[in-house]
Amino acid sequence: GAGVSQSPRYKVAKRGQDVALRCDPISGHVSLFWYQQALGQGPEFLTYFQNEAQLDKSGLPSDRFFAERPEGSVSTLKIQRTQQEDSAVYLCASSPVENANSGNTIYFGEGSWLTVV
């Protein structure tokens, strides 16, 4: 499809397990964002890439969270030793522009729903 694609859509992990969430942005999009959305809350910023460069990772909650975008296209968010508080929807968004100066240029995926049991 033409939109931002995320996989898996649903993931159940046992506490302590490592997980990897994949984001396929819209082809040619320069900017890529990861957000975490807890149940009943608004999305919270995790990290931002411009091409392959991770320009901001200030929102990553702990060193168990790691994101990469090695070729400036597909991105992976990895969570090591998952904890119950990691249960959330992880949203990826991409944009063809470098600066989020226009909201209608940013496209969100449907998210990866992570449940840690």
Partner 1 sequence: GESVGLHLPTLSVQEGDNSIINCAYSNSASDYFIWYKQESGKGPQFIIDIRSNMDKRQGQRVTVLLNKTVKHLSLQIAATQPGDSAVYFCAEVNFNKFYFGSGTKLNVKP
List residues near partner 1 by CB under 8 A: 4, 31, 33, 35, 40-45, 48, 55-56, 59, 91, 93, 99-104, 106, 108-111
Q: Which is nearer to partner 1, 17 or 72 (CB)?
A: 72
Q: Which of 22, 43, 33, 36 is nearest to 116 (CA)?
A: 36
Which CB, 14 or 104, lies closer to partner 1?
Answer: 104
> Considering beta carbons, is residue 70 or 103 the nearer one to partner 1?
103
CB-facing half-sphere around the CA of 86: CA atoms within 13 A: 29
Query: Can you say whether the dihedral through the CA atoms of 88, 113, 86, 116 is positive or negative?
Result: positive
DSSP 8-state assignment for residue 26: P
- The least CB distance from residue 57 to partner 1, in Å, is 12
Nearer to partner 1, 27 or 102 (CB): 102
d(CA 105, CA 112): 21
Taking the complex as a whole, how short is the minimal distance between the CB of residue 103 and partner 1, in angstroms? Answer: 4
